[in-house]
Structure 1
Amino acid sequence: MTTEPGLAPGPVDAAPGAAAGQAADSRLPARARRRRWRRAASIVLAALVLAVAAASLLVARDARDAQAALESAAARVPALQAAVAASGDHATLTAQLDGLARDTATARERTNGPLWSLGARLPVLGPNLDAVARVAAALDDVARDVAPVLADVRTAVAATGHADGAVDVDALREIAPRVSAAHTTMDAVTTSLSTLDTTRLLARLAEPIETLRTRVLDMSGAVATADRATTLLPAMLGADGPRTYLVLALTNAELRTGGGIVGAVVELRAEAGRVEVVREIAGSDLPVFPTPVAELDPQTAQIFSDRPARFVQDLSMTPEFPTTAALAAQMWAQSQGEQVDGVLATDPVALARILAVTGPVDVPLPPSRAAALGVASLSVSADNAVQVLEHEVYTSLAFAPEEADAFFGALVTQAASHLESDANGADLLAALAASASEHRVRVWSAHPSEQAELSGTVIAGTFLSSPAAADDVGVFFDDPVVGKMSWYLDTSITLVTSQCTDRGRLDTIDVTLTSTAPPDAATLPSYVAGLWTNPVPPGTVRTVLRVAGPQGEPTPRFERDGQGFGMDTHPLAGRSMASGTITLAPGQSTTVRVTVTASPAAGRGEGARPAGSLWVWSTPTAHAGGLLTATVPRCAP
Structure 2
Amino acid sequence: METDGAPRFERFRDVLSRRQTKVVGAALLVIVVALLGWLGFEAYSAKSELEQARENAQQAKEALSDGRVEEGQRLADSAATHAQAANDATHSLPWSIAAAVPWLGSPFETGRQISGVVLGLASEVLKPSAQVGVAISPDKLFEGSRLNVRLLQENEPALSKISADARRLEAEASAIPEPAYLSVLGRARTEVQAQTAKITSLLENTALAARLAPSMMGADGPRTYFMGFQTNAEARGTGGILGGFGILHFENGKPTVEALGPNTELKGPFTPLDLGPEYAEQYGFANASTDFRNSNLSSHFPYAAQIWKSMWAQQSGINADGAIAIDPVALSYILGAVGPVTLADGEKVTKDNVVELTESIAYQRFPTDQTARKQYLQDIANAVVKKMTGTVESPRQLLEALGKAVGEGRIAAWSASPDEQKLLEETPLGHAVPADSAPYAAVVINNLGGNKMDYYLRREIEYAGDGCSADHRNTTVTVKLKSVAPDAPLPDYVAGANGVIPNIPFTMPSGSMLTSVRLVATKDAKILSAFSNGERIPVFTGTERGHPTFEIQVAIPPRQAGELVFRLSEPTVPGEPRVPIQPLIDSVVPSVQVPECSR
SS of 1:70's partner is: helix
Note if 1:133 corresponds to 2:101: no
Give the distance between the partners of 1:350 and 1:540, measured in 2 at CA.
Answer: 27
Distance change >3 Å, CA 623–CA 117, structure 1 → 2: same
The question of whether the paired residues in 1 share the 8 Å contact of 2:242 and 2:292 is answered with yes
Note if 1:99 corresponds to 2:69: no
**CA displacement at 1:162 relative to structure 2:** 5.4
**CA displacement at 1:477 relative to structure 2:** 0.8
The question of whether the paired residues in 1 share the 8 Å contact of 2:132 and 2:155 is answered with yes
SS of 1:601's partner is: coil
SS of 1:624's partner is: coil
Q: Deviations over 1:373-413 (max 9, x none)?
A: xxx25321111111111111111354744544454444344
TM-score, normalised via structure 1 length: 0.84
Give the distance between the partners of 1:543 and 1:321, measured in 2 at CA.
Answer: 20
Note if 1:485 corresponds to 2:449: no
Counting only pairs closer than 5 Å after superposition, residues 263-282 of structure 1 correspond to structure 2 as: 263-282=243-262
Distance change >3 Å, CA 140–CA 377, structure 1 → 2: same
Q: Where does residue 95 of structure 2 map in the other structure? A: 116
Query: Aligned letter for 2:579?
Result: V
Give the distance between the partners of 2:452 and 2:210, measured in 1 at CA.
Answer: 40
Note if 1:561 corresponds to 2:533: yes
- Within the candidate set 326, 338, 341, 1:361 is matched to 341
> Structure 2: 5+ residue runs without aligned partners?
501-505
Give the distance between the partners of 2:218 and 2:373, measured in 1 at CA.
Answer: 32
Note if 1:347 corresponds to 2:317: no
Structure 1, 211-220 or 575-584: larger mean CA deviation: 211-220
Q: Where does residue 355 of structure 2 map in the other structure? A: 386
Note if 1:189 corresponds to 2:169: yes
SS of 1:327's partner is: helix
The question of whether the paired residues in 2 share the 8 Å contact of 1:289 and 1:310 is answered with yes
- Within the candidate set 357, 375, 380, 1:411 is matched to 380
Note if 1:530 corresponds to 2:496: yes
**CA displacement at 1:291 relative to structure 2:** 4.4
**CA displacement at 1:148 relative to structure 2:** 3.5
Distance change >3 Å, CA 461–CA 636, structure 1 → 2: closer
Give the distance between the partners of 1:497 and 1:133, measured in 2 at CA.
Answer: 35
Percent same amino acid among aligned pairs? 25
Q: Deviations over 1:298-321 (max 9, x none)?
A: 223323335331122322211211
Note if 1:433 corresponds to 2:418: no
- Within the candidate set 253, 256, 262, 2:233 is matched to 253
The question of whether the paired residues in 1 share the 8 Å contact of 2:270 and 2:314 is answered with no
Q: Deviations over 1:221-248 (max 9, x none)?
A: 1101110111221222111111111211
Note if 1:238 corresponds to 2:218: yes
Structure 1, 72-81 or 383-392: larger mean CA deviation: 72-81
SS of 1:421's partner is: coil
Give the distance between the partners of 1:37 and 1:117, measured in 2 at CA.
Answer: 33
**CA displacement at 1:276 relative to structure 2:** 0.8
Note if 1:494 corresponds to 2:473: no
Query: Aligned letter for 2:65?
Result: A
Distance change >3 Å, CA 62–CA 256, structure 1 → 2: same
The question of whether the paired residues in 2 share the 8 Å contact of 1:393 and 1:399 is answered with no
Give the distance between the partners of 1:120 and 1:506, measured in 2 at CA.
Answer: 42
Query: Aligned letter for 1:71?
Result: E
Q: Where does residue 144 of structure 1 map in the other structure? A: 123
SS of 1:185's partner is: helix
Give the distance between the partners of 1:127 and 1:289, measured in 2 at CA.
Answer: 71
The question of whether the paired residues in 1 share the 8 Å contact of 2:367 and 2:493 is answered with no
Q: Where does residue 318 of structure 1 map in the other structure? A: 298
Distance change >3 Å, CA 507–CA 99, structure 1 → 2: farther
Give the distance between the partners of 2:467 and 2:51, measured in 1 at CA.
Answer: 31
Q: Where does residue 16 of structure 1 map in the other structure? A: none
Note if 1:329 corresponds to 2:295: no
**CA displacement at 1:337 relative to structure 2:** 0.6
**CA displacement at 1:54 relative to structure 2:** 3.4
Give the distance between the partners of 2:331 and 2:416, measured in 1 at CA.
Answer: 24
The question of whether the paired residues in 2 share the 8 Å contact of 1:567 and 1:578 is answered with yes
Give the distance between the partners of 1:41 and 1:319, measured in 2 at CA.
Answer: 80
**CA displacement at 1:119 relative to structure 2:** 3.3
The question of whether the paired residues in 1 share the 8 Å contact of 2:266 and 2:292 is answered with yes
Query: Aligned letter for 1:418?
Result: K
The question of whether the paired residues in 2 share the 8 Å contact of 1:504 and 1:635 is answered with no
Alignment: residue pair count: 587
Give the distance between the partners of 2:546 and 2:29, measured in 1 at CA.
Answer: 62
Give the distance between the partners of 2:593 and 2:86, measured in 1 at CA.
Answer: 28
Query: Aligned letter for 1:427?
Result: Q
The question of whether the paired residues in 2 share the 8 Å contact of 1:104 and 1:139 is answered with yes
SS of 1:616's partner is: coil
CA RMSD between the two structures: 3.2
- Within the candidate set 479, 492, 495, 1:511 is matched to 479
SS of 1:295's partner is: coil
SS of 2:140's partner is: coil
SS of 1:394's partner is: helix
Give the distance between the partners of 1:388 and 1:153, measured in 2 at CA.
Answer: 41
Q: Deviations over 1:32-84 (max 9, x none)?
A: 99999888777666655554443333333222112112222333344333322
Q: Where does residue 179 of structure 1 map in the other structure? A: 159
Structure 1, 103-112 or 275-284: larger mean CA deviation: 103-112
Q: Where does residue 617 of structure 1 map in the other structure? A: 580
> Structure 1: 5+ residue runs without aligned partners?
1-19, 365-375
Note if 1:224 corresponds to 2:193: no
Give the distance between the partners of 2:63 and 2:407, measured in 1 at CA.
Answer: 18
The question of whether the paired residues in 2 share the 8 Å contact of 1:251 and 1:263 is answered with yes
TM-score, normalised via structure 2 length: 0.88
**CA displacement at 1:137 relative to structure 2:** 1.9
Give the distance between the partners of 2:26 and 2:234, measured in 1 at CA.
Answer: 81
Distance change >3 Å, CA 298–CA 40, structure 1 → 2: farther
The question of whether the paired residues in 2 share the 8 Å contact of 1:390 and 1:622 is answered with no
The question of whether the paired residues in 1 share the 8 Å contact of 2:305 and 2:323 is answered with yes
Give the distance between the partners of 2:27 and 2:538, measured in 1 at CA.
Answer: 75
Q: Deviations over 1:304-356 (max 9, x none)?
A: 33533112232221121122212211111111111111211111111110110
SS of 2:256's partner is: strand
The question of whether the paired residues in 2 share the 8 Å contact of 1:394 and 1:400 is answered with no
The question of whether the paired residues in 2 share the 8 Å contact of 1:246 and 1:266 is answered with yes
- Within the candidate set 191, 196, 203, 2:183 is matched to 203
Query: Aligned letter for 1:447?
Result: S
SS of 1:316's partner is: coil
The question of whether the paired residues in 1 share the 8 Å contact of 2:425 and 2:432 is answered with yes
Give the distance between the partners of 2:312 and 2:330, measured in 1 at CA.
Answer: 24
- Within the candidate set 37, 42, 46, 1:62 is matched to 42
Structure 1, 615-624 or 110-119: larger mean CA deviation: 110-119
SS of 1:61's partner is: helix
The question of whether the paired residues in 2 share the 8 Å contact of 1:490 and 1:623 is answered with yes
- Within the candidate set 442, 465, 469, 1:474 is matched to 442
Distance change >3 Å, CA 577–CA 632, structure 1 → 2: closer
The question of whether the paired residues in 1 share the 8 Å contact of 2:141 and 2:151 is answered with no
Counting only pairs closer than 5 Å after superposition, residues 553-592 of structure 1 correspond to structure 2 as: 553-555=525-527, 557-592=529-564
SS of 1:159's partner is: helix
Query: Aligned letter for 1:140?
Result: L
Distance change >3 Å, CA 425–CA 474, structure 1 → 2: same
**CA displacement at 1:495 relative to structure 2:** 4.5
Larger Rg computed on CA atoms: 1
**CA displacement at 1:149 relative to structure 2:** 4.1
